[in-house]
Structure 1
């Protein structure tokens, strides 16, 4: 799960089903959470926010990555500089295995998205999560994401602004949206 603490992080349009939050990691903190101090998974955003947002600093929170039934990440997960789950390059069925897949990472005041086959561990990486398919690469929508495949799931995504690569966009959709909703209007704005 991602949480952003900031004073000026705001939704692009609160009336839309698709919510987009622009984040500047030089002035805002992007963190990832999986387990409580006792090793138990947070499990829900509600449980996470009840514990970490006592002072009202969290401006945006969303699910990140793909998890099994016990809420363990299926792929790479780094939190506070410690790799807790290794990169998963296996083949399989479902969203997680659509290729090319990607990793979103936070390294100091920088953020990035990289293909699975290009990811390299580094001491500078404080947070990272492996997710499903890259929706876009070099401004091109992933051809494996079909426009007529409906999925009644909440979707989240992360994009890097190609005009200001210090900024990232966190996107959350409602149940009726599908993955191409992220990519189609963003082609001229994101890497």
Structure 2
């Protein structure tokens, strides 16, 4: 599938793969204001897309958002989390329970002009400087290969969401499945259709998407980290 042409800050479309439906939202990370959200100015968790939108200044508009990493019951991040240069949670490199601990896991790293997915140990070795970062797991695609522990005959199927990035770090491609899928199916969509060399799983069951261009704003359980694109209205001159 050819990457959609960016006509605005975010381009979203529904794509079919092996009789399953996926919503794909593509962001030019070199041009757009792509960032992470967790708390308001008083430290309260935002948790829902409308709260993120309301937290923005009047001249800014939320044009896309998605849940972006696993969290504890209090909505604090399970793994490494950095927002606007401030670290809330350190990098975790050891084994743990659940999907987050299905090693290797990874980190989604944002700078003012790029977006990259790193496998966690590679991230620890390279020590990139991220303006925003969120750690999640498992990795879906690692240097062009599927996660080694994904089973083609798995019976575990959920609505899932994640992100893949291009090798030059210029494009971030966010995906949510519209049908319940296995890890193997979801990973192959990133590898074979989107052809992203690295892709990271964000979550399942509680996967959410805000895409106003598709008239979509998913509601449900409160979320922890959220990734979004913010557009700024041009200044009005007299």
TM-score surpassing 0.5? yes
What is the CA-CA distance between 1:54 and the residue it aligns to? 6.0
Structure 2 residue 190 is the aligned partner of structure 1 residue 186: yes
Q: What's the counterpart of residue 235 of structure 2?
A: none
Structure 2 residue 34 is the aligned partner of structure 1 residue 33: no
Q: Provide the C-alpha distance between the structure 2 equivalents of 1:55 and 1:155, rounded to a whole number of angstroms.
A: 32
Q: Does the 8 Å contact 2:109/2:116 carry over to 1?
A: yes
Write the mapping of 1:1-191 to structure 2, written as runs, cut at 5 A: 7-13=8-14, 17-52=21-56, 57-120=61-124, 121-122=127-128, 124-147=129-152, 148-152=154-158, 154-162=159-167, 165-174=169-178, 176-188=180-192, 189-191=195-197
Q: What's the counterpart of residue 3 of structure 1?
A: none
What is the CA-CA distance between 1:33 and the residue it aligns to? 0.6
Q: Does the 8 Å contact 2:95/2:103 carry over to 1?
A: no
Q: Provide the C-alpha distance between the structure 2 equivalents of 1:84 and 1:53, rounded to a whole number of angstroms.
A: 23
| TM-score normalised by length of structure 2 | 0.68
Task: Judging by fraction of residues, say which structure has more strand.
Answer: 2
CA 58–182 in structure 1, closer or farther in 2 if over 3 Å, else same: farther
CA 14–56 in structure 1, closer or farther in 2 if over 3 Å, else same: farther
Deviations 1:131-168 (A, max 9, x none): 0111011111112122323233x422110124x54111
The Cα RMSD (Å) is: 2.5
What is the CA-CA distance between 1:78 and the residue it aligns to? 0.4
What is the CA-CA distance between 1:23 and the residue it aligns to? 0.9
Any gaps of 5 or more consecutive residues in structure 2?
1-6, 198-238
| TM-score normalised by length of structure 1 | 0.84
What is the CA-CA distance between 1:114 and the residue it aligns to? 1.0
Quick one: higher RCO (CA 8 Å, sep 6+), 1 or 2? 2
Q: Does the 8 Å contact 1:171/1:182 carry over to 2?
A: no
